Structure 1
Amino acid sequence: MQTKKTYTLQEATKKMEHYCAYQERCHQEVRQKLETMYMIPEAIDVIIVHLLEHNFLNEERFAKTFVSGKFKIKKWGRSRLSYELKKKDVSKVNINQALATIQEEEYIEVFNDLAEKRLHSIKEKDKFKKRKKLIDYLLYRGWESYLVYEKATELIK
Structure 2
Amino acid sequence: MNHVKTYTIEEAKRKLERYCAYQERCHQEVTNKLYTMRMIPEAIDVIIVHLLKHDFLNETRFAQTYVRGKFNIKKWGRQRLKLELKKRDISKYNIDLALKEISEPDYLKTFNDLALKKLNTISENNPWKKRKKLADYLLYRGWENHLVYDKVAELIP
TM-score category (smaller protein): over 0.9
After TM superposition, what 4+ stretches of structure 1 lie above 2 angstroms from structure 2? none
What is the percentage of aligned positions where both structures have the same residue? 67
Q: TM-score, normalised by structure 2?
A: 0.99
Alignment coverage as a number of residue pairs: 157
Alignment partners' CA distance in 2, 1:59 and 1:121: 38
Q: TM-score, normalised by structure 1?
A: 0.99
Do structure 1's residue 56 and structure 2's residue 56 form an aligned pair?
yes
Alignment partners' CA distance in 1, 2:124 and 2:43: 57
Task: Give the CA deviation at 1:3.
Answer: 1.6
Task: Give the CA deviation at 1:4.
Answer: 1.1
Task: Give the CA deviation at 1:101.
Answer: 1.2
The 5 Å alignment of 1:141-152 reads 141-152=141-152
2:129 aligned residue: 129
* Partner amino acid, structure 1, of 2:2: Q
Alignment partners' CA distance in 2, 1:4 and 1:114: 48
Superposed CA deviations along residues 128-149 of structure 1, whole A, max 9, x for unmatched, are 0000000000000000000000
2:34 aligned residue: 34
Superposed CA deviations along residues 33-92 of structure 1, whole A, max 9, x for unmatched, are 000000000000000000000000000000000000000000000000000000000000
* Partner amino acid, structure 2, of 1:56: F
Structure 1: runs of 5 or more not aligned: none
